[in-house]
């Protein structure tokens, strides 16, 4: 299977997975850039996977369904342009012969799901929408810090080589913040230099990998002393890991 990030809007990626004949697309906020790729590569769209209800993730669903007859999968608990097949955590899907495990990852939105493909070659992958970004995580619009921390913990527990297919190119700004949190993290500094290079060449910084995110992403590292100490310099009252995570998210919200 081939994996392509289709850029859309300012910084969205609409992920396309295909076998040379049939394709699925994840979170098509717009139809046109997807249709261009389908046409250019002679692919038939069979399925649409939606992670959550935000407009930049579902805006192209109706047009693509109408044009192709693709089957739409989305979180059962959210308002997705229907008809769609409602999914929830623990469920297994077979799409284009690929097995996907649905994960409930609330926090960014209340019903946000991720789609994990454990058997894919050359390595597993996860479509995680706006929950986990490279070097960061989504804002908490509908969920609590405790929910988001738990959701990120589930994603962080996926196999090391799992490709992290997130829905936005936020990496450089995330890594600038991550360096403010952990100025002595050499893995982080090295990865930041690589990403600056890639962006200068117009290349995406994703997919990332779970093992890398565990080393560079402060939102997956709130248990570590270095991260906790750094957060407490900003928010001395942050004690528990959930409080540290909440304070870290708040710090990022106001970081320029």
Active site residues: 52, 54, 56-57, 108, 130, 168
- Rank residues 120 and 167 by Cβ distance to Zn ion and give the closer one: 167
CA distance 17 to 22: 9
- Rank residues 80 and 98 by Cβ distance to Zn ion and give the closer one: 80
Q: What is the closest distance, in whole angstroms, from the C-beta atom of residue 106 to Zn ion in the complex?
A: 12
Supply 90's token pair. Answer: 């623990």
Q: What is the closest distance, in whole angstroms, from the C-beta atom of residue 28 to Zn ion in the complex?
A: 12
**Measured torsion, CA atoms of residues 227, 228, 233, 238, in degrees rounded to the nearest 10:** 140
Q: What is the closest distance, in whole angstroms, from the C-beta atom of residue 53 to Zn ion in the complex?
A: 8
Q: Which residues contact 247 (CB under 8 A, 6 or more apart)?
A: 231, 234, 235, 238
Footprint of Zn ion on this chain (CB under 5 A)? 54, 56, 130
- Rank residues 10 and 225 by Cβ distance to Zn ion and give the closer one: 10
CB 58 within 8 A of CB 50: yes
Residue 3: which of 212, 206, 209 has the closest Cα? 206
């Amino acid at each position: 299977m081939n994996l392509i990030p289709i850029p859309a809007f300012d910084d969205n990626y609409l992920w396309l997975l295909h076998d040379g004949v049939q394709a699925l697309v994840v979170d098509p906020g717009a139809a046109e850039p997807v249709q261009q790729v389908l046409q250019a590569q002679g692919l038939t769209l069979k399925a649409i996977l939606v992670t959550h209800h935000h407009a930049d993730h579902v805006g192209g669903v109706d047009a693509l369904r109408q044009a192709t007859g693709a089957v739409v999968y989305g979180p059962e608990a959210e308002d997705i342009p229907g008809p769609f097949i409602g999914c929830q955590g623990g469920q297994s899907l077979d799409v284009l012969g690929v097995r996907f495990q649905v994960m409930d990852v609330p926090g960014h939105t209340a019903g946000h799901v991720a789609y994990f493909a454990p058997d894919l070659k050359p390595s597993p992958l996860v479509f995680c929408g706006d929950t986990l970004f490279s070097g960061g995580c989504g804002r908490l619009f509908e969920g609590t810090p405790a929910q988001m921390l738990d959701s990120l913990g589930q994603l962080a527990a996926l196999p090391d080589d799992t490709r992290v297919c997130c829905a936005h190119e936020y990496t450089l700004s995330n890594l600038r913040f991550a360096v403010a949190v952990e100025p002595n993290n050499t893995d982080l500094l090295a990865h930041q230099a690589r990403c600056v290079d890639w962006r200068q060449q117009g290349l995406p910084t994703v997919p990332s990998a779970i093992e890398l995110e565990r080393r560079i992403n402060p939102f997956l590292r709130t248990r570590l002393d270095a991260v906790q100490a750094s957060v407490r310099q900003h928010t001395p009252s942050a004690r528990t890991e959930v409080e540290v995570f909440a304070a870290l998210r708040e710090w990022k919200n106001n970081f320029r």
